[in-house]
């Protein structure tokens, strides 16, 4: 199956969501290239970027599950190829 590279940008406003996010990222660990988390204390949020290489359905599934977590927003940018 053809894969695409993508970046999932995640904004976390609810610290209680961290375990659920980490659990999902662990579940998809085979497709994740890398991730970076930055606490932005002045705004009371955390910014996470996840680089992933997987079929588009897999990427959409992960981003959708993350975006449904309370206090979390997720958007995805896909590579052209």
Residues 10 and 66: their CA atoms lie apart, in Å, by 8
Residues 14 and 30: their CA atoms lie apart, in Å, by 26
Residues 53 and 18: their CA atoms lie apart, in Å, by 23
pLDDT of residue 1: 84
pTM over 0.85: yes
Kindly list the domain boundaries of the chain, sorted by start residue.
Answer: 4-78
Q: What's 4-78's CATH class? A: alpha beta
Count Cβ atoms within 10 A of the Cβ of residue 62 and give its class: 0-12 exposed, 13-18 middle, 19 or more buried. buried
Give me the tens of pLDDT residue by residue for the chain, a chain 81 residues long.
Answer: 899 999 999 999 999 999 999 999 999 999 999 999 999 999 999 999 999 999 999 999 999 999 999 999 999 999 987
């Amino acid at each position: 199956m053809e894969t695409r590279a993508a970046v999932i940008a995640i904004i976390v406003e609810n610290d209680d969501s961290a375990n659920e996010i980490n659990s999902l990222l662990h579940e998809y660990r085979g497709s994740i290239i890398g991730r970076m988390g930055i606490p932005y204390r002045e705004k009371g949020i955390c910014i996470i970027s996840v680089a992933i290489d997987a079929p588009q359905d897999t990427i959409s599934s992960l981003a959708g599950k993350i975006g449904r977590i309370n206090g979390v927003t997720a958007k995805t940018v896909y590579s052209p190829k």
